[in-house]
Amino acid sequence: MADTSAHRFRTLDGWRGVCALLVALHHFPAHGFVYALPLVRNAWLLVDFFFVLSGFVIAYAYGERLSNGAQIKSFALRRFLRLWPLHAVILCGFVTLEVVGFTRTGVIFTGGRSLYALCTNLLLVQALGLHRGLTWNTPSWSISTEFWTYLIFAAACFLLPRMRAAISIGLIALSIAILVFISRFGMRETFEWGIARCVFGFFTGVLTHDIWARGWLKRLGGSTAEIGAVLFALAYLIFIPGNRALEYLAPPVFACLVLVFANGRGLVSEVMDRRAVNALGRWSYSIYMVHMLVLAMIASALNIANFTGWRADALTLGYIACVAGVSAYTWRWVEIPGQRLFVQNVSRASLATASPSEPIG
């Protein structure tokens, strides 16, 4: 197998930050030039990039280190403390907005913001078919499915470590079958069979890591390959969405992107390794989790629908600046303390060292 000890996947971190910003732009309903860009309108598919990248990174960091109950317990706790603290803080923000809104509307804790939904969100089970729609902080459906997918991965590594590739292929096939034959939404799944969509992307990422780690494509990289991979992914994102059948190609397309940029040897990687992009990578989970709260706060103060043309784009720019600013703060004061809590309490466990790159959740 190829030597992977020195890899930090900084370029992939950068891509994760850029994709998180695109998801934030996708959700902001100010109808200007930016809103209408096909890449922005189709950015919902980038959630599948996050799933693929998570599978790749988790397989790299933990694939050979889940051989006993203590390691699995440590792994599960680390992943929970990676996801839950920020999730809980953002939920508190939405609850505050709900209470403030009650003073104006007289309505509280209904629909997707019910107390029942609050409980399922706190338990990270809100996207396991328990609701008829998205709830509270709507993007958090993906971290709900991802946490339970982590546990599926841990079980596979523990029970049948030598059959991980076969298990990955089987789980991918099963998830596709669920999305095609049972799900109402296919690759647009979120709250009903979102875990099938997550398993599809995550274990595609696991297989991608196994291919990369074996060095079969160790020469893959360089500026030509990187530019080609970016153009291929952009063409897919711009032209494919809308064709329900071709949307199933999203995980394999993003797997190609991950394979090329895992080596980080080309001109694009040099650009993605700049300080500003590195910061976006660090803040990516916060960007993904806080942007709907920032949007809700802006919507409570302004009628976003009244903004069109350049005024809409100016508002969008202000929104993105706010998201980045809040994300820098939550990364420093919520995410980092959560990770330190793990190290302080489980520092003797074999998985206590930091992973080279954290999934977005």
CA atoms within 13 A on the CB side of 47: 29
Q: Widest CA span of the chain, in angstroms?
A: 63
Residues in the chain predicted with pLDDT less than 70, given as ranges, are 1-8, 216-219, 342-361
pLDDT per position as a tens digit, 292-331: 999 999 999 999 999 999 999 999 999 999 999 999 999 9
Please report, as a single letter, which amino acid is at residue 2.
A
Q: Which of 42, 51, 62, 63 is nearest to 200 (CA)?
A: 51
Q: Among positive and negative, which fits the CA dihedral 43, 293, 79, 275? A: positive
Q: List all residues 6 or more positions away from 107 whose beta carbon is below 8 Å from its beta carbon.
A: 101
Tell me what pLDDT residue 8 has: 66
DSSP per-residue letters across 335-350: IHHHHHHHHHHHTTST
Residues 247 and 188 sit within 8 Å (Cβ to Cβ): yes
Model confidence, pTM: 0.92
Residues 49 and 360 sit within 8 Å (Cβ to Cβ): no
pLDDT per position as a tens digit, 244-278: 899 999 999 999 999 999 888 889 988 888 889 99
Tell me what pLDDT residue 218 has: 65
Three-state DSSP state, 226: helix
Cα torsion through 97, 100, 104, 108, rounded to 10: 70
β-partners of residue 308 are 31
Rounded Cα distance, 10 and 221, in Å: 15
Residues 262 and 357 sit within 8 Å (Cβ to Cβ): no
Domain boundaries, the chain: 10-346
Tell me what pLDDT residue 344 has: 66
Tell me what pLDDT residue 249 has: 96
Helix residue ranges per DSSP H, the chain? 10-27, 33-36, 38-41, 46-62, 69-105, 115-122, 141-159, 164-181, 194-213, 222-239, 250-261, 267-272, 275-301, 309-330, 336-346
Q: Which two tokens stand for residue 89?
A: 């803080």
Rounded Cα distance, 12 and 264, in Å: 8
Task: Kindly provide the b/e burial profile for residues 304-316, where b requires at least 16 CB atoms within 10 angstroms of the residue's own CB.
Answer: beebeeeebbebb
Rounded Cα distance, 201 and 110, in Å: 32
